[in-house]
Structure 1
Amino acid sequence: MSISDKNDRRKHSRVVFTTKIDIHMLDESGQNVKLAANSKDLSQRGVFVKTNSRPSLDTPCRVGVYLSGGIDDLKLEIQGRIVRHTDAGFGVEFQSMDLETYTHLKTLILYNIEGSD
């Protein structure tokens, strides 16, 4: 795992972290949509989703981040919104999460940062 470019203007460290995620949101007609994909990177403030889908910017969503490898598999549930698109996918900014999810996410980020000074 590696930390993103230090020239990046983001306030929180991002780590390259690929895991299964799902995004729940409403489409333009108000129908529930579930998108299954993988993450590219992750921070305490957001996630980049690798996919060909491009939901509308500012669309509210619920993100499920699946963690495995421990005693039990874990799914983090986070409220967010779509904030950017690229050719590789889209970025979600996290809006709210419970304290337990925040703690797991913070530990995950700290554990995966290598070589930071």
Structure 2
Amino acid sequence: MERPDQRTKTRVKLETSANLQISDRSLAGNTLSRDISLDGIFIRTSEPVPINVPCRVTITISGTSSTLSMQIKGRTVRQDQAGVAVRFTELELDSYLHLRNIVLNNQVPDSAA
């Protein structure tokens, strides 16, 4: 049976570098985000990750002339074969504004989906 979609915020596809820090363990290197919203992010990883634990996500977006890095506190909420979902629990104002702009600028109109 398929689980109902429990998301409350718009999510957009975004493949960018993401580092997941849980306690003293860091998942970095080949970890990429798959999609993101103002509520959370899905990070691709094949490593097992404990669920329902606090974490810190560092999202890095590189452009042609600059790099944006956001550190966001969260909690792991789900894992499957593709990766782990993190729900954001604490966003600084700057990170929230950057994230909001990323979501707004990457939305696909309903008619194009």
Please indicate the TM-score interval, normalised by the length of the shorter structure.
Answer: 0.7 to 0.9
Q: What is the aligned partner in structure 2 of residue 18 from structure 1? A: 15
- CA drift of 1:70 comes to 5.7
The one-letter amino acid paired with 1:15 is V
- CA drift of 1:116 comes to 3.5
Specify whether residues 70 and 106 from structure 1 end up closer, same or farther in structure 2 by C-alpha distance, changes over 3 A only.
farther
- CA drift of 1:114 comes to 1.5
Structure 1: stretches of 5+ with no match in the other structure:
1-6, 27-31
Q: What is the aligned partner in structure 1 of residue 77 from structure 2? A: 83
Kindly provide the CA deviation profile for residues 75-115 of structure 1, in whole angstroms up to 9, marking residues without a partner as x.
00100010001111110000001100000000000000021
Q: What is the aligned partner in structure 1 of residue 43 from structure 2? A: 49
Structure 2: stretches of 5+ with no match in the other structure:
none
Q: What is the aligned partner in structure 1 of residue 25 from structure 2? A: 33
Distance in 1 separating the partners of 2:64 and 2:90: 25
SS at match of 1:100: helix
SS at match of 1:108: helix
Normalising by structure 2, we get a TM-score of: 0.87
RMSD: 1.5
1:105 and 2:99 are equivalent in the alignment:
yes
Normalising by structure 1, we get a TM-score of: 0.85
In percent, how many aligned pairs have the same letter?
Answer: 33
Instruction: State the number of aligned residues.
Output: 106
- CA drift of 1:17 comes to 0.5
